[in-house]
Structure 1
Amino acid sequence: MIISQKKSVEDILKFLENGKNVVITGCSECATVCKVGGEEELKEMKDFLEGEGKAVLGTIVLSPACNLLNTKKDLKKLKEELSKADAVLSLACGDGTQTIAKTVKVPVFPGTDTMFIGEIERMGQFEEACRACGECELGWTASICPITRCAKGLINGPCGGAKNKKCEVSNENDCAWIMIYEKLKETGQLQNMMELREPKDFQKSNSPRRINLKEQKKETAEA
């Protein structure tokens, strides 16, 4: 899940300082779960902006905001409102905000900060889990990510600076490699730590990346 947080109202008002008529969009998935872009948050933002003298012409929770075709379809419901709008305020993640910007002809501004790809520990509590590095290491690290969990992103064991099983960079975090060692030991896979791993191929994480499943299927069929 993409984890987002609300931007400060000061930032939002600065974005909208040259516009009076605003449309607010949210997202039915990640942003709703993160309590930044669901129906409740859109209503709160609408009330706030109207209190600041803005005219909110319409609100919509997109399903989801990052789906280009769905977003185009959903925003047709606000065609008239968008034609009169000076700006769109997106309460989706950065991906959703960029998708919306592809479909409208007015400035689109983010109302959230996109933080990380993470897991839901419990409602309202999230932890970073993946950096989308393009070359997953979980198959040999007992499904504990050394790129995300280790502050130094080490893939050939610990740095040696851990103390009381805590990371030397931040003692609030458990040492990723101690976690990996203990999990590998528990599952009978300690031999995984004996193999020297090659440096990561960072070309696989060059941005922007694109995946086309139809092209992949065609290439596979031709091979």
Structure 2
Amino acid sequence: MIIGDSKPLEEILEMIRDKPKVLVVGCRGCVTVCNVGGEKEVGILASSLRIARKKAGEQETVDEFTLERQCDPEYLEELEGKAGEYDALVSIACGVGPQFLSERFPNIPIFPGINTTFIGGALEHGVWTERCQSCGNCIVHHFGGLCPIARCSKSLMNGPCGGSANGKCEIAQDVDCIWHLIVEKMEAMGRLEELERVWPVKSWLTSRDGGPRTRIREDLKQ
């Protein structure tokens, strides 16, 4: 799941300062699950913007709209004929949303209302943690199902660094050393000796280092 954080209201107000008529656009995807960009959050943000503008003596319009997803072109069709009525759109989807909206509506300024943070999962209600860096070549099976790339502060793949102590990372005492967890997990499964095996160098050709990535599924193309 993509995790995001709401931008400060003051930052968004500055973005739309010269835009009399604004539409806040939400998404029912990941940002709804992490409570930053769904229909409820669209309502809260739009209301907050209206109140702030009214207090400043402004009479500008701030409307609301929530799409099923902002990362699929077919859902953006819902805004056809509507987006052109506004001086700007504020997208509170992940970073893909404002880009897709900008490409679909090239003559309308698009502003991001949230900061996309990481790919992760929920530890409990209201608590999310990073678990993946989307490197495109998953090898967590070599490490007991745990990812040292995303969860080690140095992305070390050959064991813990000299800064770990008592199972904790040197960056903070509340951060587990993932290599400590990997060793414990592999030992519990009776697979500890596998960590001594020399594997071929991981290919990073599928990672972000090679530039923007495109995935094509010929079996799904129409």
Q: In 2, distance between residues paired with 1:182 and 1:123?
A: 27
Q: Give 2:110's aligned residue.
A: 108
User: d(CA) in 1 for partners of 2:173 and 2:99?
Assistant: 36
Matched, 1:181 2:183: yes
Structure 1: distance between partners of 2:220 and 2:33: 33
Q: Deviations over 1:188-218 (max 9, x none)?
A: 221220113444433321220001011899x
Please, what TM-score do these two structures have when normalized by structure 1?
A: 0.89
The 1-side partners of 2:144 and 2:97 are apart by: 32
Task: Name the structure 2 match of 1:86.
Answer: 87
**For the residues of structure 2 that align with 1:182 and 1:60, how far apart are their CA atoms?**
48
SS at structure 2 position matched to 1:188 = coil
Give unmatched runs, 5+ long, in structure 1.
218-223
Give the one of 36, 43, 67 matched to 1:62.
67
Secondary structure at 1:59 match in 2: strand
What is the alpha-carbon distance in structure 1 between the residues aligned to residue 78 and residue 192 of structure 2? Answer: 51
Superposed, which structure 2 residues align to 1:11-160 within 5 Å? 11-51=11-51, 52=53, 53=58, 54-56=60-62, 58-71=63-76, 73-76=77-80, 79-80=81-82, 82-104=83-105, 105-160=107-162
Aligned pair in 2 of structure 1 residues 67, 216: CA closer, same or farther (>3 Å)?
A: closer
Partners in 2 of 1:117 and 1:37 — Cα distance? 16
Aligned to 1:60, the other structure's residue is in SS state: strand
> Measured at CA, do residues 84 and 22 of structure 1 come closer, stay the same or move farther in structure 2, by a change above 3 Å?
same
Partner of 2:216: 212
Could you tell me whether the CA contact under 8 Å between 1:31 and 1:37 is conserved in 2?
Answer: yes
Q: Is the 8 A contact 2:91 2:110 kept in 1?
A: yes
Match of 2:48, SS state, is helix
Aligned to 1:221: none
**Share of identical aligned residues, percent?**
36
CA RMSD of aligned residues (A): 1.8
Q: Is the 8 A contact 1:155 1:197 kept in 2?
A: no
CA deviation digits over 1:72-109, x for unaligned, max 9? x2213xx24x2221100001110122112221130110
| Inter-partner Cα distance in structure 1 for 2:7 and 2:202 | 34
CA–CA distance in structure 1, aligned partners of residues 113 and 32 of structure 2: 13
Look up the SS of the partner of 2:42 in the other structure: helix
Check whether the contact 1:137–1:146 (CA below 8 A) recurs between aligned residues.
no
Task: Label 1:55 to 1:216 Cα distance change in 2 as closer, same or farther (>3 A).
Answer: closer
Runs (4+) off by over 3 Å? 197-200
Letter matched to residue 38 of structure 2 = G
CA distance in 2, matches of 1:199, 1:160: 22
* 8 Å contact from structure 1 (residues 21, 86) kept in 2: yes
Which residue identity is paired with 2:96?
D
CA contact under 8 A between 1:49 and 1:55: conserved in structure 2? Answer: no
